[in-house]
Amino acid sequence: MKQVLITGASSGIGEELALLLAEHGYELILTARRDHLLRELAVKCEEMGALRADVLAGDIEDVARSPKWSDFLKGEGEIVLVNNAGVAEFGDFATSSIKDNDLQLAKNLFGPIAMTRAILPLMLASGSGLVVNVLSVAARTVFPGSAIYAASKAGLLQFGNVVREEYRKQGIRVTNVMPGATDTPLWGADAEVGPPRDKMLRSKAVAEAIVGVIGLSSDRVVEEMVITPPDGAL
Ligand SMILES: NC(=O)c1ccc[n+]([C@@H]2O[C@H](COP(=O)([O-])OP(=O)(O)OC[C@H]3O[C@@H](n4cnc5c(N)ncnc54)[C@H](OP(=O)(O)O)[C@@H]3O)[C@@H](O)[C@H]2O)c1
C-alpha cells in the first residue's frame, strides 16, 4: 500500500484527505505544527483502517530538514508527498510588510520546495513517486489583494512542472491541484471575511479529487487538476 506523507494534515483539506485515505487503508505520515491535533487524527485514522498513521510535528521548513524521513518512509509502497500546508494572507500589497511577505512565501513556497528536496531522493532510490502540490486557482486567476499568495502558488506551480519534466523518466509523477475557494479554517472564524462560505467547495470535495489521483496506477500522469465551486471564482 502507498505511503502518503501529508503536510498541513491538522485541519481543512489535509485533515479530510487523511481521513479518506485511512478508509482506503493507506499508510499515512501526518505533519503540521499542532502536535495534539495530529496525534488525535492519527488515532482516528488507524481506527478507520489506515495501515499506520505516524506523526512528525513542526514548522514545515524544520520538518523538511528532519533526518528521520528514511525511517518514516521505510514501507514497501510507493511514496506519495502531498504538499498541502499553506496559509492565505490577503491585503493591500503597498502597505504589507516585507516580514509578512517573507513568512507567507516561506510557508507556501519554500516549505513545499524543501519538502520535495527532502523526499525526492527517497522516491528516486525506489524508482517511483508521486508529488501532489495543493496550489490554488490564484496560481493563474488574478484576485486583487492576493499578490504574495498568488506569487507563492504560481511559483510552486512552475516548480512542480519543472520537477515533473526533470524526473519523469525516473518514475516521478507530479500533479498540480488548483482548488477554488474551499470552506476551511484558512478563512478564519469571521464568516463575513471572504466569499460566502455556503458557495465554497467543501474540503471533502477537494480531498476526494486528490484521493482519486493518489489511487491511480503509475502508468498515467495527471499533470494538473482545477476544481471549482459550481459558481466558479467567488
Ligand atoms: N481554503 C481555500 O479556499 C483554499 C483554496 C485553494 C487552495 N487552498 C490551499 O489548500 C491548502 C490547505 O489549506 P486549507 O484550506 O485546508 O487551510 P487550513 O485548514 O488552514 O489548513 C492549513 C494547514 O497548513 C498547516 N500549516 C500552516 N502553516 C504551517 C507551517 N508554518 N508549518 C507547517 N504547517 C503549517 C496548518 O497546520 P498547523 O497550523 O497545525 O501548522 C494546517 O494543517 C493550502 O495550501 C491552501 O493554500 C485553500
Domain residue spans in the chain?
3-227
pLDDT for 88-123, tens place per residue? 999 999 999 999 999 999 999 999 999 999 999 999
* Residue 182 Cα to chain centre, angstroms: 14
So what's the pLDDT on residue 189? 86
- Topology of 3-227 in CATH? Rossmann fold (3.40.50)
Mutate to test the pocket of ligand 1, among 87, 157, 200 (most ligand atoms within 8 A of CB): 87
- pTM for the full model? 0.98
Q: Is 92 helix (H, G, I), strand (E, B) or coil?
A: coil
Protein residue whose Cα sits closest to atom 43 of ligand 1: 8
Phi, psi of 231 (to 5 degrees): -85, 0
Using alpha carbons, select from 130, 108, 110 the residue that is nearest to residue 120: 130
So what's the pLDDT on residue 94? 98
Dihedral of CA 77/14/213/124: which sign? Answer: negative
Of the residues 26, 72, 90, 149, which is catalytic? 149
Question: Can you list the residues of the chain whose pLDDT is less than 50?
Answer: none
167 is catalytic: no
Protein residue whose Cα sits closest to atom 36 of ligand 1: 8
Q: Are strands 129-134 and 79-83 parallel, antiparallel or unpaired?
A: parallel
Spatial distance between the Cα atoms of 80 and 75, rounded to a whole number of angstroms: 12
Side chain identity at residue 79, one-letter code: I
178 contacts 137 by C-beta, under 8 angstroms: yes
